[in-house]
Structure 1
Amino acid sequence: MKERVILVALVKNNRERYKKIADLEELKALTETAGGEVIGSFIQVKENPSPRTLLGKGKIKELKEICEKYHIDLLIFDNQLTPSQVRNIEQETNVRTIDRRALILDIFARHAKTTEAMLQVELAQLNYQLTMLTGKGEQLSQLGGGIGTRGPGEKKLEVDKRKIRERIYFLKKSLEKIKKTKELQRSQREHFFKIALAGYTNSGKSTLFKALTKENVYISEELFATLDTNTKAFEIYPNIKVLITDTVGFIKNLPPQLITAFHATLEDIKRSDLIIHLIDATTENVEEKINIVQETLKNLGCDEEKITLVFNKIDLLFEKTQYLRLKRKYPEALFISALKGTNLEKLKNFIRKKMKTFLKRKTLKIKKEKGFILSYIYRNSYVIDFKENENEYWVKILAYPQFIYSLSSQI
């Protein structure tokens, strides 16, 4: 049975109220992704938040009456709550209360499938729980079964700060071992041109990944459907492959504990040669979402010059004026539909242009007695021209320098 939820927010003035309505729509989508049923939303306009309950005394009383009338199981605040505020609101309303950070952590726990993702989510949750503990020696209440309480491998145990820190230490050590394995994998792929897909959650990154690689990947309308980085190769020229990585989506007010826990995973973005910042062209507040992703990439230490804006879902833009407006504002951006395949060839041409310095042209002279090497060349490079005479083959190729270097000892 789904938990019945009311979404709550506090804003300072009426101008902020209109903006907050869009935020609550996103919060609703997050809640539904976590398995909750949103019964309604509740916004208070108040310049000075109450340090005790965030909302004013009268509004808390009103909220309690609504909760009783509609049998509400959970309150989710869009604003960040302090541990004491959570406790006070729960006491005043008799309804379990969490904030946006806890909800996002819950969704990550719900979608974590691999060992690495599970460890990262648990680490983020424990770091968050540590910040929510108040009072020396105070213990966490028993973990229940509702939204905001999920986590991979959780035990229904009372854990204090010391035990949490011990578990955090263990998780960090486990993730360090995984990181070393990933470092080895990365070193083996170092000579390839590497592309990372980054963007706001649900911008269509997995759909684009599937369109380029032809791989069968999980695609869902749910937010944060992808938590694990997935790296595959695809041919950008005949027999020349590039690597592309699908990464976890970003969102407004992404808990810093998640950024920290997923640092090794997000390292794939930083180390790439091209970052495709994919944007849902149909979304509301598109500029705000672009800024959120750009700021997150900046905080990760990504090179701004490697980032390219690519607007997705243009097949769903019913108003041409929106398309033209985005074109004017972002003249350097590309516009595609990953689902329909629109302008994917333009995107590939852009990738080819960007990777020009990573490839080398070379004319090879191969004696006829070493003709057996031709099949190896054809498998690993783009043959631009081929000629032969009585004694030699002349092969003009485009390839990664490492491959050309490997040929020098064989021809």
Structure 2
Amino acid sequence: MSQTSNTPKKTKAVLVAVQLPGVSDAEHEGSLQELERLCTTLGFVTVGRVSQRRKSLRTGTILGEGKLKELALWTGGTGIVTGFSKDGAGDDDDERMAPEPIDAPETKATVVIFDHEMSPTQLSNLEDATGVEVLDRSGVILEIFSRHARSREARLQVEIAKLAYLAPRLRASHVGGDRQGGGIGAKGAGESAHELDRRRIRDRIAELRGQLESIRHEQTTRRAQRSEAPCVALVGYTNAGKSSLMRALTGSEVLVEDKLFATLDTTVRALQPETVPRILVSDTVGFIKKLPHDLVASFRSTLDEALNASLLLFTVDGSDPNFRSQWEVTRTVLAEIGAEKTPSLLILNKVDQLQPEQQAELAQEFPEAIFISTRNRDDIKRIRELILGHFETEMIDKSVLIPYTQGKVLGMIRERARVLQEKHEDEGTIVTIRATEDVHAWIEKQLNKDS
């Protein structure tokens, strides 16, 4: 007797990409592979790819006429856009990428994923031609963010970004014509259902931003409370190993998954074993090429952890052939928020997946980089020592007399600075303290206040 499987069927996707002038074959292939990983993270299974060289994406269907028909073979669509002029649609076809027409594949895709952001018209035309749902790269990324958001802040940020993405893509309803809005909150006669939906989205975004602002106020207060402690921010491309490094440096139970965007919420933990003064480590949301602008804007508060950090650890997957462009994406986004001048270290992670000759070549190309594997305890110890060394270069040693009547100040000093030596005299304790100028100024203020 056969049993029916309760395992849900995975959505079958066909990936589509256009190779524009100036994009190398390796970059084009790397972007498609990344898109496939995004689809895997979303739970889709990729059944095929369609690729074409074109001069631009500024056409009603993005693809030329021939490629559009090839794409339709994967979905069972007609490959024709109703009422769409095909003038010039095929003049950019590159026969080198599709030398001969292909037979219709047995496995049909139920969704088409484009490796580009598309206009509402392009989406509508392509759904008409393919007969299935069409998503662009931004839509896929937003859906992943939506599923992975855990904290209230992250959920608010993602909803704002999704609504901002959706608003210009709303299509007027074909059912009931221009249904007039006449209820509470409507403008009255003359407003179509389409216009009403857009206004509701704008109102909802305003409401969400108000909620987010209150959360950010709380975050600012928390940051101010820990501002005396030096902070290290782990920044880098998604899936570069930031969370694994965070876990190794802090001993925290940070989520570690081999998925894109496994971490969306900023986590802040103390470096372990704890140091004096205590050093905080924050794990930030990963970056990716073609990250939707609204997501960058929405996650500004998350990226502020990097802006307020004293040291950035650029964590890069050294085993990924495309890590150079990934590193550049990270640097570009951080420059947009004004964090490009923050001191930083380049960490080439996952070197255990490289051959010795590959490591040697990278060491010559990036002499300033630190090569590690988060699985190697000696490598983690070395990173920890580099962090300590960085902060100690900004510290100076001073000796100060703490009167016995102000003994409580000594306890406060131990929490904020490193005490190198103590010597008990008749008037009090002479302590030699290693700390930053700010901490030394704070100590002097405490002593004067209590004297």
TM class by shorter chain equals 0.7 to 0.9
1:257 maps to: 294
Displacement of 1:119 in angstroms is 0.4
Match for residue 354 of structure 1 among 390, 407, 415: 390
2:39 maps to: 31
Displacement of 1:370 in angstroms is 6.2
Q: For 1:229 and 1:316, how far apart are their aligned partners in 2?
A: 28
Q: Map of 1:150-299 to 2, 5 A cutoff?
A: 160-234=197-271, 238-299=275-336
Q: Does 1:67 find its partner at 2:75? A: yes
Q: How many residues align?
A: 392
Gapped runs of 5+ residues in structure 1?
A: 142-156
In the alignment, residue 226 of structure 1 is paired with which amino acid?
T
Q: Map of 1:295-374 to 2, 5 A cutoff?
A: 295-317=332-354, 319-356=355-392, 359-367=395-403
Q: Is the 8 A contact 1:235 1:241 kept in 2?
A: no
Gapped runs of 5+ residues in structure 2?
A: 1-8, 77-105, 176-192
Which deviates the most, 99-108 or 326-335? 326-335
Match for residue 43 of structure 1 among 46, 51, 57: 51
Q: Which has the larger radius of gyration?
A: 2
Provide, for residues 184-240 of structure 1, a one-character-per-residue CA deviation record: whole Å limited to 9, x for no partner.
Answer: 111112222121111000111111111111111111111101111111222587432
1:401 maps to: 440
Provide, for residues 102-143 of structure 1, a one-character-per-residue CA deviation record: whole Å limited to 9, x for no partner.
Answer: 100010001011110000000001111123236xxx3699xx
- In the superposition, the TM-score normalised over structure 2's length comes to 0.80
Displacement of 1:338 in angstroms is 2.2
Displacement of 1:13 in angstroms is 6.6
Which deviates the most, 113-122 or 290-299? 290-299
Q: For 2:325 and 2:108, how far apart are their aligned partners in 1?
A: 35
- In the superposition, the TM-score normalised over structure 1's length comes to 0.87
Q: For 2:58 and 2:202, how far apart are their aligned partners in 1?
A: 32
In the alignment, residue 121 of structure 2 is paired with which amino acid?
S
In the alignment, residue 404 of structure 1 is paired with which amino acid?
I
Which deviates the most, 324-333 or 108-117? 324-333
1:2 maps to: 10
* SS class of match (1:343): helix
Q: Is the 8 A contact 2:138 2:291 kept in 1?
A: yes
Q: For 1:13 and 1:260, how far apart are their aligned partners in 2?
A: 29
In the alignment, residue 139 of structure 2 is paired with which amino acid?
A
Q: For 1:281 and 1:248, how far apart are their aligned partners in 2?
A: 19
2:28 maps to: 20
1:125 maps to: 162
Displacement of 1:372 in angstroms is 7.1
Q: For 1:185 and 1:370, how far apart are their aligned partners in 2?
A: 29
* SS class of match (1:393): strand
Q: For 2:65 and 2:285, how far apart are their aligned partners in 1?
A: 40
Change (3 A) 1:288 1:82: same
Change (3 A) 1:320 1:91: same
Displacement of 1:179 in angstroms is 1.0
Q: Does 1:388 find its partner at 2:424? A: yes
In the alignment, residue 62 of structure 2 is paired with which amino acid?
L
Provide, for residues 66-106 of structure 1, a one-character-per-residue CA deviation record: whole Å limited to 9, x for no partner.
Answer: 22342311100012221111111111110110111110001
1:57 maps to: 65
Root-mean-square deviation (Å): 2.7
Q: For 2:428 and 2:74, how far apart are their aligned partners in 1?
A: 87
In the alignment, residue 353 of structure 1 is paired with which amino acid?
G
